[in-house]
């Protein structure tokens, strides 16, 4: 049986942005924490949806036809194949992501930051 995960402690253990950390796994999924600031790149994931849950701060998820504004305690699922760009305009934002095992954060291994387990 696994130990419990304290999200605040895990978030306090790193400071770099746009570099996801794996804090738990279940089935074929990874629970990732990430700190973000500024703009990420436009990208899509052809084979999977992508879940964003805001823990602290605010996040805009830009889609080609609209922008979804998220605040703490809110989540949004980007449907597979949908081009999107996460943006944190007001300083640092802390997020929880649920992704399939080894999914590149940009949808492309060549441009992705590899998620690291902590």
Domain residue spans of the chain: 7-100
* From 7-11, 41-45, 50-54, the region with the lowest mean pLDDT: 41-45
How is residue 101 annotated by DSSP?
T
- The mean pLDDT of 45-58, rounded to a whole number, is 94
Q: Is the pLDDT of residue 12 over 90?
A: yes
What does the block give as tokens for 2? 């696994």
Question: For the whole model, what pTM was predicted?
Answer: 0.89
Look at the domain 7-100 and name its fold.
Jelly Rolls (2.60.120)
Contacts with 65 (C-beta within 8 Å, 6 or more apart), sequence order: none
Q: What is the pLDDT of residue 118?
A: 84
Return the higher-pLDDT residue of 116 and 61. Answer: 61
Longest CA–CA separation in the chain, Å: 44
Q: Is the pLDDT of residue 103 over 80?
A: no
């Amino acid at each position: 049986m696994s130990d419990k995960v304290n999200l605040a402690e895990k978030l306090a253990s790193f400071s770099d942005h746009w570099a996801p950390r794996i804090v738990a796994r279940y089935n074929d999924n990874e629970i990732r924490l990430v700190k973000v600031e500024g703009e990420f790149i436009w990208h899509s994931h052809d084979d999977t949806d992508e879940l964003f849950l805001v823990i602290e701060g605010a996040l805009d998820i830009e889609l080609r036809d609209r922008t979804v504004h998220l605040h703490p305690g809110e989540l949004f699922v980007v449907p597979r194949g949908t081009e999107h760009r996460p943006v944190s305009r007001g300083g640092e934002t802390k997020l929880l992501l649920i992704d399939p095992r080894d999914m590149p954060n940009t949808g492309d291994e060549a441009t992705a930051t590899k998620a690291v387990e902590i």
